[in-house]
Amino acid sequence: MAIFVFGAAALLLFSFAVGPDAEALRKFSAGFLWLGLLLSSTLTLAESFHAEMENRAMEGLLLLPASPRALYYGKAIANWLQLMFLGVALVPVMVVLYDAGTTRILSLILVIALGAAGLSAPGTLYAAMTAQVRSKQTLLPLLLFPLIVPALLASVKATSLIILGDPMNQGKSWLVLLFAFDAIYWSLCGLLFHKVVEE
């Protein structure tokens, strides 16, 4: 709930920044939605491994007869679900503040799901990497944000096409890019996770 309030407050601040220009608010609504979700995601991801590090449970988990990859995918899926639900919950706030409604609800949920997956895969890996650092709340965004630029751009563009219309049928290309990003990073981060937690 606290993260949702933070995301909703970010969307409200963006609307104040643009002003009473209804056309501009609707035009940039997709970018504002994903910026709000991106800023909120750092709070969620930074706390992913808090309990394990606080109670030294990570060492116990690594001693279990299970692959560290299973631990990674468990954490990544949990983060993905949380970010996806957060993104869906922020959509009504976007509609009210920016008058950016759409009837293509299923397409919008699909984009949010793929975009949240793009944030979750590398975000979970970097959260594990920075979990023992005191300034993890600052270091995590510095590491994560440059890496997820392709996923963020594809998510914003695909969402914008859903809200504003897609006469040239460009949405599929952005969805393919988003899906390719997710496939690469969900595979790669799972392979690298054991090096992060064991070193």
Tens of pLDDT along the chain (199 residues) come to 778 888 888 888 888 877 777 787 888 888 888 888 888 888 888 777 766 666 666 666 666 677 778 888 888 998 999 999 998 998 888 888 887 777 788 888 999 999 999 999 898 888 888 777 776 667 888 888 888 899 999 999 998 888 888 777 787 888 999 999 999 999 888 888 777 766 5
Element holding 89 (H helix, E strand): helix 68-98
The span from the CA of 45 to the CA of 117, in Å, is 12
Find out whether 94 and 141 touch, Cβ atoms under 8 Å: no
Global confidence as pTM: 0.84
Q: Which tokens belong to 16?
A: 């104040």
Residue 67, phi-psi category: left (phi > 0), alpha (psi -120 to 50), beta (remainder):
beta
Type of residue numbered 136? K
